[in-house]
Amino acid sequence: MDIEDKKSHEYKGLFVSKQYAEDVKKFLEAKLKKKKQKSLDAIMQFSGILDGATDNRSYQELKAEKGSAKCS
């Protein structure tokens, strides 16, 4: 069952029957987990931690290395 605001006719949400509630809940949890993992992977790859490129070096060392790599 859809929920709509009577004044603005804006879509607000959805009611789910009891028999499908658990399936919908599992689906949404899986979807949110996948979205969170994708975001985390992007952040980790950007920072270089995921592929081990940082090796506990400081920001300045990493910046100097990336700068020298661009020049060559």
pLDDT at residue 69, rounded to an integer:
62
pLDDT at residue 22, rounded to an integer:
93
CA distance 51 to 66: 15
pLDDT at residue 3, rounded to an integer:
85
Residue ranges of the chain whose pLDDT lies below 70: 45-56, 66, 68-72
pTM, entire model: 0.50
User: Where are the strands (E) in the chain, listed by range?
Assistant: 2-4, 11-14
Domain edges within the chain: 2-71
Using alpha carbons, select from 27, 25, 4, 1 the residue that is nearest to residue 15: 1
pLDDT at residue 27, rounded to an integer:
94
Contact at 8 Å (CB) between 32 and 44? Answer: no
**Mind listing the pLDDT tens digit for each residue in 45-56?**
666 555 566 666
26's tokens: 């599992």
Helix (H) or strand (E) holding 50: none
